[in-house]
Each structure stands twice: as C-alpha cells, then as structure tokens.
Amino acid sequence: MDRLPTDQLLALDRRHVWHPYAAMPNTGPLFAVRSAQGVYLELETGERLVDGMSSWWTCIHGYNHPRLNQAAQKQMGCMSHVMFGGLTHQPAVQLAQKLVTITPEPLQQVFFCDSGSVAVEVAMKLAIQYWHNRGKPQKQHFLTLRNGYHGDTFAAMAVCDPVNGMHHLFRHSLVEQYFADAPQISFEGGWDEADLASFETILQRHHGEIAAAIFEPVVQGAGGMRFYHPEYVRRTRELCDRYNILLILDEIATGFGRTGKLFACEYAGISPDILCVGKALTGGFMSLAATLTTEHISETFAQGEAGVFMHGPTFMGNPLACAVALENLNLLESYNWVTRIRAIETQLKQELAPCRDLPAVKDVRVLGAIGVVELHEPVDMAVIQPQFVQHGVWLRPFGRLIYTMPPYIIEPEQLRQITQAIYTVLNQE
C-alpha cells in the first residue's frame, strides 16, 4: 500500500473518519502515527513522542513487544478466527484457565467479550437472568455510584453518572437506575461509616428490585480519576450480602496491575460475584475483554426458563486475541511488575508534586501507575494537546484532568519527560 503524504492523509481523515468523542468534520488536533516501538509513538512528520497514555491504558508492555508479536504470528499460522458456537480451541481454554487462576476466588467461569462495554453489558444481563432463574424476575435494576463510568453502550451508559458523565443527552432513552453518592474519603484518608449512608439507604428501600450493585473498585476512571478508600469496597460487599444482591466490579481500567495490585479489589480483600476485565488484557494488541462469575451463579442457568445464557458475540473467544492475551499475562508474570509499579508511583508523586503550587491546579493525586493533575477549569484541547506534542509527549487530557497512565516498561528518564512536560505546560497557563 502506497503511503499518502501527511497533509493528504489528515485531510482524508477529517473528511471521512469519525473519531471517538469528536464531531464531523473533525476540527480538533489530529496527529498521524507512522509506527510505535516500546514507549514511543513516531508521527508521520518524524516526531517521536513518549506515550503517557498506554493507548487508553492498554499497552502495559509498550508497543511491538517481540513476545506478543511472536504469539500473534504463531497463532495466525493456525487460524486467526473460528466461531465459538459449538467449537472451542486451545487459546481460549488456556486463557480462561489463566484468568481463573489469577483472579480472586471464587470466580470460576469466563465469558469472553469483544470490548469492555460489552463485558459490562454481559455482567448486567447475567445478573438479571440469574435472578429470573431464581424466581425473582422483579430484580431488574442496578445500584451504582455517581462519578462512575462503565462504557458507551446502552446498558453501560445507564449505570454511568447521569449528570456529570458523558451520556446525559441520552438519559431519557436509558433505563433509570439507582445512584448512590460517590465515595468522598480518599484512598489514604481516615475511614468514616457516613460515606456508606447513601449506598445503604438505597439498598434498604429498594433491594427487592435491585439485581446487583456495579462500580469501579478504588479508582473511578473516566468519570473523574478519583481514588477512594478500599474500606468502601469491603463494606459494600457486606451490604450486598446482607440485602441479597449481587456485586459486579468493573476492573476494565484497573485490572492487571495498574493500581499496584493485580486487581484493585485486592486492596479491600474481597471478591465480587461478577468481574469485568478488558483494556490491558491483550497488552493493547487487539480488543478483548472478559466477564467472570462464580459457579453459584452459572449453575442456575441450565435450570432457568431459557436453559442457557442469552448472549453470544460473533467474534467471541477469537483465537488470535486469546493467544496474545495469554502471552501478555505470561509476560506480566515473568518480571517483578509490582516493583515496577511502585517505582513509577514514587516518581510520579515526587515529580508531579510541584504542580500543586501552580495557580491553575486544584489537586494532584497518584496511585500505582496513575498520575492525575486536576485543574480548576477545563482544558482547551486545541491549545494544550499540541503543546504536549511540542514537548515530545503524548497525553490526552479531558475535562479538568491531565493524567498519565504510562506503560509499565517506561524508564525513569522517559517518565520524567512526561512529568516535566505537564509542569511546564501548566506553568504557562
């Protein structure tokens, strides 16, 4: 395929390609990537940018990792895809076994999905059909948290924050759910039972119609990059058990080590009834997600009205994605990733701290390999994104947040380039 001149490439893109959270034609900043290697993105114009986003938190081992490339090439020599209805294959079975091994007990069953949003949809359908199987079809609703984010499909949108989230335009088309106040106590703050009051009050009044609670443990991601107290997660687990509802944890953003634990729920020492994972599952190689649940839940489906779980994506259990995901998890286990994350956390805390003194900055917070600088006012993307590119880094701010989730393989000097760019750009505001 002949390469297009950069100007022509960008012009055609703006004319025909619809990007996420963008208008048509796209008038925002746009940069064409020629290749990617390690932690670097190389643009068509020749610049090399340190990627501070891990391509929306997926490429935990950077780009073009030889082990992931080799796993893909080996699998392509066998088959890239085969339908999962009535057929199975080794990559899916081995990946399911690996996920069961590394996730908290008693999660045992794995449903493969195409994306994180679909994993949430599957989790919600599992919960509703489970209660139908148990003779309680009235349990159709969900309890979730304000400031949460769970994806852009319709059921997922319904449990995203309806006011401060990205989906208020669709609120009259969505099933109304129950929203508890967002946790207010920070990750390292002093615990106060009052933080649970809203959650418990809703359960007291409506547990008879609630199928499950669903939220992101410890870290609320795209809804505000908020880090909250692990005791909240532990206590909500107890409340779900007391009021006989299921607990769904969305670890699509936090799973596979990003917070310093393999899964964020480990900070609370609990396990959900249903777990959603995605994003980093394949190391950013291609889209794959999974919804895990327990034998207690899955065993009800054969006896239910339908006799089966009513969901089946066309590309479910794609062999190529499963093979790469399995190698990605093996790669994660091959080195001391905990030490890597702690080193990134320490450096982010040290080097982002000076941002607190800048007039534009409201807060600075760090957890694991997540660094967040919250501003008083929303950023102007048309201005700030090109500035970061000029400093040789790729960051994708949104709203009032400038944040970084770098690849785990990033070196200190590369991470320093990101933190210095953040400080320098904000110091000009």
Encode pLDDT of 298-308 as tens digits: 999 988 888 99
Query: Which DSSP string do the residues of 302-334 spell out, in sequence order?
Result: TTSSSSS-S---TTTT-HHHHHHHHHHHHHHHT
Residue with tokens 């938190």: 57
Q: What is the pLDDT of residues 144-189, one digit of tens each?
A: 999 999 999 999 999 998 876 667 788 888 999 999 999 999 999 9
Q: Is 250 a catalytic residue?
A: yes
- Annotated active-site residue in 114, 195, 250, 273: 250
Triad 32, 279, 264: Cα angle to 5°: 135
- Annotated active-site residue in 40, 279, 408, 423: 279
Confidence (pLDDT) at 166: 66
Confidence (pLDDT) at 163: 74
Confidence (pLDDT) at 274: 98
Rounded average pLDDT over 44-56: 97
Confidence (pLDDT) at 278: 98
Residue 412's Cα: distance from chain center in Å? 24
Residue 429 has pLDDT above 80, yes or no: no
Residue 66 has pLDDT above 70, yes or no: yes
Q: Calculate the average pLDDT of the chain.
A: 96
Confidence (pLDDT) at 165: 62
pLDDT tier at 67, thresholds 50, 70, 90: very high
33 token code pair: 């990537």
- Annotated active-site residue in 40, 130, 149, 403: 149
Residue 414 has pLDDT above 80, yes or no: yes
Confidence (pLDDT) at 99: 98
Q: What is the pLDDT of residues 107-149, one digit of tens each?
A: 999 999 999 999 999 999 999 999 999 999 999 999 999 999 9
Residues in the chain: 429
Q: What is the pLDDT of residues 270-318, one digit of tens each?
A: 999 999 999 999 999 999 999 999 999 999 998 888 899 999 999 999 9
142 token code pair: 């969900």
Residue 3 has pLDDT above 90, yes or no: no
Q: What is the pLDDT of residues 21-32, one digit of tens each?
A: 899 988 889 999
Q: What is the pLDDT of residues 382-406, one digit of tens each?
A: 999 999 999 999 999 999 999 999 9
Q: Could you give all domains of the chain from N- to C-terminal order, each with its CATH number?
A: 31-64+339-427 (3.90.1150.10), 69-333 (3.40.640.10)
Percentage of residues of the chain with pLDDT beyond 70: 99
Q: Is 178 a catalytic residue?
A: no
Percentage of residues of the chain with pLDDT beyond 90: 92
Buried b / exposed e across 358-393, counting CB within 10 Å, b at 16+?
bebbebbbbbbbbbbbbbeeebeeeebbebbbebbb
Q: What is the pLDDT of residues 324-376, one digit of tens each?
A: 999 999 999 999 999 999 999 999 999 999 999 999 999 999 999 999 999 99
